[in-house]
Chains A and B, each alone.
Chain A
C-alpha cells in the first residue's frame, strides 16, 4: 500500500469523501421533504382550526364591541374631527390584556379538565361583574354550543376517525371530553340551566375538535382582537385596510403570543381584572344614548 503514503492521492481521497458526504446529505434532505407530505392527523386538527377561526362561524360576535363603543363615548376627541386611531390602539391593548387575565385561564382549564365544565361555568359567571359583559359572553357561548350540536357533533360522536385512532389513551380522553360536552349541552334544557359562558366552552370544544391547546388559546385571543377591530371599522374609527394592517401586524402577533405564554400556568382562582376601568366602560355601555352594538 505504498500509494497511501502519497500526499496527492490522500488529498484526492479526502475530496472524494467530502463529495460523497455532500451528496448523501442532499439525498437525506430530499427524502425529508418527501416525508413531510400531509399526514391525516395534522389535517384534522388544521381543518378544525380553520372552522373555529372562520369569521363566518355563527357566534354572532359581530354584535359585540366588548366595550369599544362605550370607551369611544367616554373619550370624545377634541376637536371632534381629530383622529380616534391612537385611542383605539390603547383600547385594543387594554382589552386584550383584560381578556387574557380574566377569561384565558378558563379557556385553558376548559381544555385541560373537560369534566369540570360545570364548575368552570359557575365560577366564570361569579367572576363576571357586569350584566353587559355577561350578556355578550353567554350569547356567544350558547351560540358555540348550538354550532356544536347542530353542525360539529355528527362528525365526532363516532370516535373512529383516523385522527384519534392510534394510542388508546388519547381515544378515551377524547370520548370523556365529548361526554362532558354532551351532558353540559343536555343540562341546558333542565330546570336550572348553566349559563354557558364562551371561555370555558371554547376550551372544551377545541379539545373535542383536537385543536392543539396552544393554538386554541391563541385563536381565542386572536378572535377577540378581530371582533374589536371589526367593530372599530363599523364605528368608523378605522378603514378596512387599516384594520387588516392592525390584524396582520407583528406587534399584535407578539402581544398575543406573549399573553398566552404569560397566562399558560395561571390558575382560574387567580384570574382577575388588571384594568379596573374596563369594567366601568363595559358596564356603562347601557347608559349610551345611541348604540350600534350589544356590548
Chain B
C-alpha cells in the first residue's frame, strides 16, 4: 500500500499548481490533489452540496467544490509566471474564483512579460464555472495569459468569463499598458475508430492589445471610450438554459435606431418584461453594449462598458435572473460578481 507523508517536500516548480477533482464511487467528488508553489496560492474551502441536490436525483453530484486562485500580494509582479493545471473527472463540478481583481504590476522593462497559463481537462459529464474578477493591468505592464480547455468527445460543460479593465481609472490610467494578451481556446480530443486520438480546435478567442506598428493608434483611441472588455464562453448541457437565456435577452434588446412613434398602445408588462425593461435601462445608463452569438455549439457573449460596475451588474443580473447556476453550484459561484 502506498503512503504519502503529509509532510513530504513539494516537488512542484515555482508558480506551478495542480488541481484534480476526482470521484469517490458512487457519488462523492473529492479534491484528490491541490498543490501549488509561490507565487501561486490555492485555497479550497469546504465543499457544499448544491441546492438542486437530492438523494433521489443521482445525476447531480452530491458536492460542489470551490477553489480560490490567489497570488501573494494580490497580483502578478513583472516576470512572474504561473502555470496551473486542472483536471475534472466525470460527474464532478468545480467553481473557480478569485479574491478581487488580478492586478498586474508595473515592469521596468517592456520585454519582461508576466505570464499566467491555465490548462483545464474536462471529462464528459463534468462542469466548470469560472467567473473571476477582471484582470486589471496597471500602467506600463506586459502580461500574457492563456486558458486552454480540453474536452473529451466535445462533452463536458463550461462557463468561463475573461474580462479586462483599463487599469486604475482613479489614477487616470486608461489602457496605458505595454502589452496585454489573453487567449481562450477550447479543444476536443476524439478517439477515432483506429484508436488514435485527434485534437480539434472548437473555439479560439484571442485578444491582442499592444502598441505595435501599423495599427499606429493609441490603445485608448482604439477602445472607443470603453474601459472594460469581456467574453463569456458557455457550452454544454449544464449551461444550456443559461445559454438560451443570453440568446433570448439579446434577441429582446431594442433595435438600434428604432423609434417610438407613440402610435402603438403599450401592453401591460409581465413581471419578466418589467425586469427586462429595468435591466435594459440600467445597461443604457451604464453605457454597456453586448452581443451574444450561437457558434459551433457555444454561446459566446461579448461585452464592453465604461466602468467595471456596469459589466459586473450586467453579468450578475442575467445570471441571477435565469438562476440555473445558483441552483446547480450555489451562491458561491457568483461571488466575484457581487
Contacts and interface: CB of A to CB of B under 8 A. Distances in A.
Interface of A: 70, 73-74, 90, 93-94, 97, 100-101, 122-123, 125-131, 134, 255, 258-259, 262, 270-277, 279-280, 283-284, 286-290
10 nearest CB pairs, A to B? A272-B206, A283-B291, A289-B258, A289-B255, A258-B214, A289-B257, A127-B204, A272-B208, A97-B215, A276-B229
B208 A130 contact: no
A123 B201 CA distance: 6
A93 B256 contact: no
A271 B207 CA distance: 9
B295 interface: yes
A277 B226 contact: yes
B14 to A, nearest CB: 26
A283 B293 contact: yes
B279 interface: no
A273 B207 contact: yes
Contacts of A283: 291-293, 302
Contact of B205 (A122, A129, A277): A129
Interface of B is mostly: strand
A287 B214 contact: no
Interface in B282-312: 289-296, 300, 302-304
Given A128-B295, A259-B214, A274 B208 contact: yes
Contacts of A127: 203-206
A130 B201 contact: no
Nearest to B250: A287
Nearest to B185: A126
Interface residues of B, number: 44
Interface stretch (B217-225, B235-243, B327-335): B217-225
Given A276-B229, A289-B256, A131 B294 contact: yes
B293 A280 contact: no
B183 interface: yes
- Which among A93, A100, A134 has the greatest number of chain B C-beta atoms within 10 A? A93
- Which among B201, B253, B300 has the greatest number of chain A C-beta atoms within 10 A? B201
Contacts of B258: 289
A126 B110 CA distance: 31
Nearest to A76: B257
B288 to A, nearest CB: 10
Contacts of A287: 250, 253, 255-256, 291
A101 B257 CA distance: 31
Given A94-B217, A288-B256, A130 B204 contact: no
Contacts of A123: 201, 204
A13 B244 CA distance: 95
Given A129-B295, A129-B300, A276 B215 contact: no
A131 B302 CA distance: 12
A262 B289 contact: no
A130 B291 contact: yes
A86 to B, nearest CB: 12
B209 interface: yes
Given A73-B256, A280-B291, A275 B204 contact: no
Contacts of A284: 256, 289, 291
B301 to A, nearest CB: 10
A280 B304 contact: yes
Contacts of B257: 73, 288-290
Contacts of B213: 258, 262
B113 to A, nearest CB: 14
Contacts of B201: 122-123, 126
A132 to B, nearest CB: 8
Nearest to B290: A280
Given A74-B256, A259-B214, A270 B206 contact: yes
Contacts of B256: 70, 73-74, 284, 287-289
A268 B321 CA distance: 39
Contact of A126 (B209, B210, B296): B296
A291 B233 CA distance: 28
B202 interface: yes
B200 interface: yes
Given A122-B200, A289-B255, A255 B302 contact: no
B281 interface: no
B295 A101 contact: no
B27 interface: no
Given A126-B202, A283-B293, A277 B229 contact: yes
Nearest to A259: B214
B212 interface: yes
